[in-house]
């Protein structure tokens, strides 16, 4: 079945979630934590994801902005920075302006030139996603930015993946779903999407029922895989 629609996760896939901590650590006056930014960024991301999964299981939904703040607060406390209100404010501000990975603009432009529909499907809140898309200059390359807030549950719930067919009128087999999150790819594959796992860290495949159809180290080859 021909791929008509290319759907991308946002955080960690199109946008570098480590960029906020990396940029903040390089700013003047941040020497007291600059050496620990990779560990802090990793803890922040892990807790952000864990809180979204737990809230999906318990039905206690909130915005992704809330779990982003909660995850950061946990990470700051773990690294002895809980009292640094200025750092917290700066990290959260930078999260609205995350950098896109270098290959993203050309990759999306190639897909659009080939007539493929392109969209984000993300746990992110609409305002967060809007800020990131605008900051990265990707708006004209996307046909839609779909947020889980429309259905009130985080990925990998099937109701989230339902949004793609509802928006584009396509069958699951016509969708190429791309994510850097192994658990997200597993959910999408089990749903019936064609999948690409962007495995930037060269990690093992998750032991879950859904398996990635293809694995790549970055997004450069996505147009070829989509038949563009």
Contacts of 32 (CB under 8 A, 6+ apart): none
Exposure class string for 49-59: b at 16+ Cβ within 10 A, else e? bebbeebbeee
Cis peptide bond N-terminal to 186, omega within 30: no
Alpha-carbon Rg for the chain, nearest whole angstrom, is: 17
Degrees to nearest 5, angle at CA 155 with 150 and 158 = 80
Percent of the chain with pLDDT over 70: 100
Count of C-beta atoms within a 10 Å radius of residue 150: 12
CATH architecture of the domain 20-95 equals: Orthogonal Bundle (1.10)
Which structure tokens are listed for 60?
A: 């206690």
Spot the catalytic one: 9, 16, 43, 184.
9
- 123-180: per-residue pLDDT in tens? 999 999 999 999 999 999 999 999 999 999 999 999 999 999 999 999 999 999 999 9
C-alpha atoms less than 13 angstroms from C-alpha of 196 in its C-beta half-sphere: 23
Q: Which helix (H) or strand (E) element contains residue 43?
A: helix 37-58
**Burial of residue 2, with CB atoms counted within 10 A of its CB: 0-12 exposed, 13-18 middle, 19 or more buried:** exposed
The mean pLDDT value for 4-31 works out to 95
Name the residue ranges covered by the structural domains of the chain: 5-15+99-225, 20-95
| 60 assigned to active site | no
**Fold of domain 5-15+99-225:** Rossmann fold (3.40.50)
- 37-81: per-residue pLDDT in tens? 999 999 999 999 999 999 999 999 999 999 999 999 999 999 999
Q: Which residue is listed with tokens 């802090």? A: 40
């Amino acid at each position: 079945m021909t791929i008509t629609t290319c759907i991308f996760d946002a955080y960690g896939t199109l946008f570098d979630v480590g960029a906020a901590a990396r940029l903040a650590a390089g700013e003047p006056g941040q020497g007291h934590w600059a050496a620990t930014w990779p560990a802090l960024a990793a803890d922040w991301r892990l807790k952000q994801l864990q809180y979204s999964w737990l809230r999906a299981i318990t039905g206690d939904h909130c915005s992704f902005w809330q779990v982003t703040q909660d995850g950061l607060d946990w990470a700051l406390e773990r690294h002895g920075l809980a009292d640094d209100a200025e750092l917290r404010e700066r990290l959260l501000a930078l999260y609205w302006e995350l950098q896109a990975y270098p290959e993203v603009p050309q990759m999306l432009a190639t897909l659009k030139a080939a007539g493929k529909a392109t969209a984000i499907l993300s746990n992110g809140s609409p305002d967060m996603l809007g800020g990131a898309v605008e900051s990265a200059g990707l708006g004209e390359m996307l046909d839609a930015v779909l947020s889980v807030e429309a259905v009130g549950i985080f990925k990998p719930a099937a109701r989230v993946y339902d949004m793609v067919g509802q928006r584009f009128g396509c069958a699951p087999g016509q969708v190429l779903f791309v994510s850097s999150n192994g658990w997200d790819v597993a959910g999408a594959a089990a749903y019936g999407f064609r999948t690409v796992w962007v495995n930037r860290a060269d990690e093992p495949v998750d032991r879950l029922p859904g398996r990635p159809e293809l694995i790549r180290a970055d997004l450069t080859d996505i147009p070829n895989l989509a038949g563009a």
